[in-house]
A and B are shown apart, each in its own frame.
Chain A
């Protein structure tokens, strides 16, 4: 596979190194001269000095072949977005992945059609959320292209769903209980599965249905 990695910071350099070890062909692009010099010692001809948002730099890196994958992992969200757009729309690169530095910019990437993104800050916050028990709905997974998300809910004693069968719950349209974890054992949920206090329930839902799901499963909305 041929991969262009735009941005030779810690993320870009480590990804490039790993891809090379896996036997892939890589060109790494870095615009800061002092950083480029260090990278050149390791990557030699596989690193290119230049601004990866400039078309002639991308062409020098072989964007017209086109590569199988372009990774835009600079520290600048606008640069990453533009690199992805140029690669995809200008050179028909089939797969582009962008790093999002500021999670507030995530919506801009989606609006402009760059749906494959990685945001370290959001990932860390997701982990924090998972560790904080007060949060009632823990986001486990976001299926962005499918517009669905999977959440985990701990059912406490006194919750409206405790002791009820799933088909008797007033679940909102666009939400399903998919699994019940009881005493560490997970089972696939169906209509006659009864939910008990202490269960951990996994549900799949459309974004925006969180409040309705919360009302159906656990007590008062926060």
Chain B
């Protein structure tokens, strides 16, 4: 199975290494060549330097044969646009998009995009942790 990961920051590079270790054929796209170092020494997968909005770069990364795409650059709107382009132009069903702004994540999730919002996850987990303390005090 082939996966293309757009954006090799902390999130993108970690997912890349994880999936690679699980047997996926992984190709990573990042604007900066230095981002390759995040993938560790002797990265066995593919790495393409360029912008994910550029269809030539997507082609170079083998987007036509991708079974899944993870979009995790540091720009919410860039991710939202690339996610839609990849899904519509190349007909890839599994496209996961990171969106930090909860409002935009919800807006696009309602329109069929598979968004992951770390901010919303943090809000939920933190709120739950505080509530747990409250419950403990009530029972104590």
A-to-B contact residues, CB < 8 Å: 53-56, 76-79, 81-82, 86, 89-90, 104-105, 107-108, 111-112
A78-B77, A112-B81 known; A53 vs B104 contact (CB < 8 Å): yes
Q: For the side of the interface on B, what is the size category?
A: 10 to 19
Least CB distance from B102 to A in Å reads: 10
**Best-surrounded residue of A76, A90, A108 (most CB of chain B within 10 A):** A108
* Chain B contact surface mostly: helix
Q: Are B104 and A54 in contact (CB under 8 A)?
A: yes
Of all chain A residues, the one with the shortest Cβ separation from B79 is A78
Of all chain A residues, the one with the shortest Cβ separation from B53 is A105
B-to-A contact residues, CB < 8 Å: 53-55, 75-78, 80-81, 84-85, 88-89, 101, 103-104, 107, 111
Q: Are B103 and A78 in contact (CB under 8 A)?
A: no
11 A-B residue contacts at CB 8 Å? A55-B103, A55-B107, A76-B77, A77-B53, A78-B53, A79-B77, A81-B81, A86-B104, A104-B55, A112-B81, A112-B84
Q: Are B78 and A78 in contact (CB under 8 A)?
A: yes
The 9 closest A-B pairs by CB, nearest first: A78-B77, A55-B103, A82-B77, A78-B81, A78-B78, A79-B77, A81-B81, A108-B85, A112-B84
Q: Which residues of B contact A54 (CB under 8 A)?
A: 101, 103-104
Q: Are A89 and B77 in contact (CB under 8 A)?
A: no
Q: How many A-B residue pairs have CB under 8 A?
A: 46
Of all chain B residues, the one with the shortest Cβ separation from A107 is B55
Least CB distance from B6 to A in Å reads: 13
Least CB distance from B10 to A in Å reads: 21
Partner of A112, one of B54, B75, B85, B104: B85
Q: Are A89 and B104 in contact (CB under 8 A)?
A: no
A140 and B88 CA atoms in complex are apart in Å by: 30
Q: Are A90 and B107 in contact (CB under 8 A)?
A: yes
Q: Are B54 and A104 in contact (CB under 8 A)?
A: yes
A53-B104, A56-B103, A90-B107 known; A78 vs B85 contact (CB < 8 Å): no
A54 and B76 CA atoms in complex are apart in Å by: 10
Q: Are A78 and B54 in contact (CB under 8 A)?
A: no
A82 and B85 CA atoms in complex are apart in Å by: 12
A54-B101, A55-B107 known; A112 vs B88 contact (CB < 8 Å): yes
A107 and B107 CA atoms in complex are apart in Å by: 23
A53-B77, A89-B111 known; A82 vs B104 contact (CB < 8 Å): yes
Q: Which residues of B contact A104 (CB under 8 A)?
A: 53-55
Q: Which residues of B contact A111 (CB under 8 A)?
A: 84-85, 88-89
Q: Are B103 and A82 in contact (CB under 8 A)?
A: no
Query: Told that A54-B104, A107-B55, A111-B88 touch, could you supply 5 new A-B pairs with CB distance under 8 A?
Result: A76-B77, A78-B77, A81-B77, A90-B107, A108-B81
A112 and B112 CA atoms in complex are apart in Å by: 14
Q: Which residues of B contact A76 (CB under 8 A)?
A: 77
Q: Which residues of A contact B53 (CB under 8 A)?
A: 77-78, 104-105, 108
Q: Which residues of A contact B104 (CB under 8 A)?
A: 53-55, 82, 86
A57 and B111 CA atoms in complex are apart in Å by: 21
